[in-house]
Each structure stands twice: as C-alpha cells, then as structure tokens.
Amino acid sequence: MNLERLPNEEKLGLCRKYYLIGFAFLPFLWLVNVVWFFQEAFIKPAYSEQLQIKSYVKRSALGLLVWVTVLTTWITIFQRFRAEWGEVGDYISFTIPLGTP
C-alpha cells in the first residue's frame, strides 16, 4: 500500500490505529509505525495533520524504546542467572542447551 496515494486524514487515521494496536504487546508494530511514517512526519513539508502524526510517531518511538529496554534487561538477567535458578529456570525455558553451563 502506498502512502502517497492516501488523503491526509486517512494517513492520520492509519498512524493512530497502528499506535493504538501496538499497546497489545506489539513493539514491532510500533517500530513499523515509526519507520513507515517517519518521512511523513518529519521530512515532508507541513500540512494540517502532520502535527498529530508527528506526536503519534514520537509516542510509538518512546513505547518501542521502553519495550526494548525491558526485553534486553530481562534477556540479560535470564541468560546470566538461568543455571543458578535450578528448577524454576528449567520451567520457564523454551529450549535448554546441551552440555555443561
């Protein structure tokens, strides 16, 4: 789908929907929102809906950053302390590596 051919209100509507749906544990959707609407929000010459699109893109980027931080922290903790957690570690593991830890 080409953003160029959409009228501005529809662009705003799409950006907003992507932002709202991203709250369902979908940081990837926020990433797509940021990348796709980046040019619309920051590089194109100003038009009436651009301010709102800009705010949605910024909020999506913020949410994405929060998610990335949380995930990175959690993965680091898991990788470092999994062996020491014993049974609980095994319980929440999806794949358990072979060999000595």
Residues that bind another protein (CB under 8 A): 1-2, 5-6, 14, 21, 24-29, 32, 35-36, 71, 74-75, 78-79, 82, 92-99
- Nearest distance in Å: CB 5, another protein: 5
52-71 b/e (C-beta count within 10 Å ≥ 16 → b): ebbebbeebbebbeebeeee
Task: Determine the Cα–Cα distance for residues 36 and 61; give it in Å rounded to an integer.
Answer: 12
- Nearest distance in Å: CB 28, another protein: 4
Query: Are 14 and 6 spatial neighbours (Cβ–Cβ below 8 Å)?
Result: yes
Residue nearer to another protein on the CB measure, 26 or 61: 26
- Nearest distance in Å: CB 48, another protein: 20
